[in-house]
Amino acid sequence: MSAVERPRPATTPPPGAEVPVRHPDAPAPGVSLGAHYDECFGCGAGQPHGLQLEARAGEGVAVTAEFTVKPAHQGAPGLAHGGVLATALDETLGSLNWLMHVITVTGRLETDFVRPVPVGTTLHLDARATARVGRKVYCTGTGRIGGPDGPVAVRADALFIEVKVDHFIENGREEEIRAAMADPDQTRRARAFEVNP
Ligand SMILES: CCCCCCCC(=O)SCCNC(=O)CCNC(=O)[C@H](O)C(C)(C)COP(=O)(O)OP(=O)(O)OC[C@H]1O[C@@H](n2cnc3c(N)ncnc32)[C@H](O)[C@@H]1OP(=O)(O)O
């Protein structure tokens, strides 16, 4: 099949796609996004073996984040599990929705594992939204070791799909949904589902 006939990858925006727009109420560059949900495996403090990833707003629709690989995150001896690294990228990319004030879920996540990541390493992540088409948000991200400008260890392109809050309410387990909705803190309640207050 020639390059002309080859179908465009699902994570590559089509020509003429809209440029993602930062919401006027998005956190200022440098501001920590905090955890969107305490029990989130990616960012919540309530998950002792979770990634406890910390993201902060960047310029435009971009974020940076750090995650330190713990012994609980191993695949091969002394090395991070690839699925955990993909989770770190998924979480970082997912946090872009907070800057656009849309609710999205991951539809597709294409990950390249470029270098092994030893336990104890801090992965420096960055992500940005590149395009929007209807409910589809295209984004890309990298994870570097040795510092924010260090060599790339993992990278991903992803397609997130905008959903209504019903996506979580109708599909989530009832006890967690009830608890999250009963949270007296309005921002925390909203952010559990990534709904903007
Ligand atoms: C800070 C927040 C961090 C959050 C943590 C990180 C994010 C996550 O991990 S979210 C959890 C993982 N993801 C999920 O559980 C999602 C499960 N999937 C679903 O619920 C559904 O398949 C969903 C909602 C993505 C799409 O379903 P639905 O709403 O019916 O949309 P559908 O009409 O099928 O698709 C909409 C468009 O997206 C495209 N699309 C949907 N899924 C994919 C996919 N996997 N690959 C490529 N394209 C896709 C469709 O082709 C369609 O495109 P077009 O508009 O051009 O026809």
Arithmetic mean of pLDDT, 149-156 = 98
In the structure, which protein residues have their CB atom closer than 6 angstroms to any atom of ligand 1? Answer: 10, 36, 42, 90-91, 94-95, 105-108, 134-136, 159, 161, 163, 194
* 107 pLDDT tier (thresholds 50, 70, 90): very high
Query: Which atom from ligand 1 is nearest to the alpha carbon of 136?
Result: 38
Residue whose CA is at the smallest distance from ligand 1 atom 4: 94
Indicate whether 41 belongs to any domain. no
Arithmetic mean of pLDDT, 29-38 = 94
pLDDT of 3 strictly over 70: no
What is the torsional sign of CA 57, 60, 63, 64?
A: negative
Average pLDDT of the chain is 94
* Confidence at residue 72, expressed as pLDDT on a 0 to 100 scale: 98
Structure tokens at 97: 């929705």
Residue whose CA is at the smallest distance from ligand 1 atom 44: 107
Residue whose CA is at the smallest distance from ligand 1 atom 35: 161
For the chain, how many structural domains are there in total? 1
pLDDT of 197 strictly over 80: no
How far apart are the CA of 10 and the centre of ligand 1, in A? 11
The Cβ-side half-sphere exposure at 91, using a 13 Å CA radius, reads 31
Indicate whether 14 belongs to any domain. no
pLDDT of 187 strictly over 90: no
Indicate whether 82 belongs to any domain. yes
The sheet with strand 62-68 has its strands ordered as: 54-57, 62-68, 122-133, 136-145, 152-162, 104-113
Indicate whether 69 belongs to any domain. yes
User: What CATH number has the domain bearing residue 146?
Assistant: 3.10.129.10
The residue among 190 and 33 whose pLDDT is bigger is: 33
- pLDDT tens-place string over residues 83-94: 999 999 999 999
Q: Rounded to an integer, what distance in angstroms lies between the CA atom of residue 61 and that of residue 43?
A: 19
Domain that residue 132 falls in: 54-163
* 173 pLDDT tier (thresholds 50, 70, 90): very high
* 65 pLDDT tier (thresholds 50, 70, 90): very high
Indicate whether 71 belongs to any domain. yes
Indicate whether 114 belongs to any domain. yes
Indicate whether 140 belongs to any domain. yes
Cut 0.80: pTM above it = yes
Indicate whether 26 belongs to any domain. no
Structure tokens at 84: 């955990």
- Percentage, residues of the chain above pLDDT 70: 96
Q: Rounded to an integer, what distance in angstroms lies between the CA atom of residue 189 and that of residue 6?
A: 44
